[in-house]
A = this chain, B = another copy of it.
Amino acid sequence: MKLKMMYSFLNSDINVIEKKLEETIQSESLLLKAASLHTLKAGGKRIRPVFVLLAGKFGHYDIEVMKNVAVPLELIHMASLVHDDVIDDADIRRGQPTVKAKWDNRIAMYTGDYIFALSLELMTNINKPEAHKILAHTMVELTVGEIQQIKDKYRFNQTLRDYLRRIKRKTALLIAASCQLGAIAADVEESIHKKLYRFGYYVGMSFQITDDILDFTATEKELGKPAGSDLLQGNITAPALFAMENEEIRLQIEKVHENMSAAEIEHIISLIKKSGAIEKSIALSDHYLDKALAVLEDLPTNKTKKTLRDIAKFIGRRKF
């Protein structure tokens, strides 16, 4: 089953979100508008808005309120990708040139800043101090995660714990916040929105580990960028870390540098794939997925709960 089929009952609301996303990034600066629109149109799964909406279904759901949370969370994600691509010197994302490639690093920096600021402006329509505290704290953690990623680049002696802490900040907390803030916007009681936060956190961990596996196992066409890009850019993820448990493979991986030839990196990728590291990474992703599903069990039973379960399983086990 395709992801979109799982929440087809939200289709009209997802259209509201898409429209609001496009409306929000309008700007009298044609350059900012073009760069932001380019990022928006490059696509994405819109997972954060979907989680916001689904979490809202546990309370008093009003799409006109929910969109003021769903859109900012997607925008924050988009802005962080724009800045990410500067750091990673990435020219391609989702099969499209990145802002930094189509324009330049400076434009990408301010396009990211602009999208961040827009997201905050929209969120101010939500008159709940707690929501703003959670969002701001998530943004602080996100930037700490980003800087950690820079520091950890090509640092081959990092541990799995370093990796988990980094993906928590870089990915899981924003998905956790999406679930929690969607619930808070819909006046869901604290005991439930806290559970939704935990659900989002575990799903986010599983999601990112799966993403990191796919960077090794999917094709360039599926990924929208060359396979093995993460490793080539020095981002050491779960499969590489598990593979390095083997001393011989470790010595090979430690040779990775950004100007490595395609043949060389392909050789290393094949070593990692043959090492059993992919299977260990899948088990790690499943570990978080199971925790997510366990949290779900504890939530009130409704139609949404089943959808959340389907989506969690899908994004934790997707093939690309």
Please encode chain A, from 91 to 118, with 1 for each CB lying within 8 Å of some chain B CB and 0 for all others: 0000000000000011101111110111
State A312–B28 Cα separation when bound (angstroms): 31
Which residues of chain B are within 8 angstroms of A147 by Cβ–Cβ distance? 29, 31-32, 107, 110-111, 114
Which residues of chain B are within 8 angstroms of A28 by Cβ–Cβ distance? 144
State A201–B237 Cα separation when bound (angstroms): 49
Which residues of chain B are within 8 angstroms of A27 by Cβ–Cβ distance? 144
Chain B: CB-nearest residue to A116: B116
State A69–B86 Cα separation when bound (angstroms): 31
Are the CB atoms of B110 and A136 closer together than 8 Å? no
Are the CB atoms of B29 and A148 closer together than 8 Å? yes
Which residues of chain B are within 8 angstroms of A137 by Cβ–Cβ distance? 121
Chain B: CB-nearest residue to A89: B106
Are the CB atoms of B148 and A121 closer together than 8 Å? no
Does A277 belong to the interface (CB within 8 Å)? no
Chain B: CB-nearest residue to A146: B110
Chain A residues bordering chain B, tally (CB within 8 A): 41
Q: In the complex, how many angstroms separate the beta carbon of A319 from the nearest chain B beta carbon?
A: 32
Are the CB atoms of B142 and A117 closer together than 8 Å? yes
Does A12 belong to the interface (CB within 8 Å)? no
Q: In the complex, how many angstroms separate the beta carbon of A174 from the nearest chain B beta carbon?
A: 12
Does A150 belong to the interface (CB within 8 Å)? yes
Which residues of chain B are within 8 angstroms of A111 by Cβ–Cβ distance? 147
Q: Which residues of A contact B (CB under 8 A)?
A: 27-29, 31-32, 83, 86-87, 105-107, 109-114, 116-118, 120-121, 123-124, 127, 129, 132-133, 135-137, 139-140, 142-144, 146-148, 150-151
23 CB contacts below 8 A, A to B, read A31-B147, A32-B144, A32-B147, A87-B106, A107-B147, A107-B150, A110-B146, A110-B147, A113-B143, A114-B140, A114-B143, A114-B144, A117-B136, A120-B132, A120-B136, A120-B139, A121-B136, A121-B140, A123-B136, A124-B132, A124-B136, A127-B129, A132-B132
With A107-B150, A120-B136 known, 4 other A-B pairs at CB within 8 A are A31-B147, A106-B150, A113-B116, A117-B143
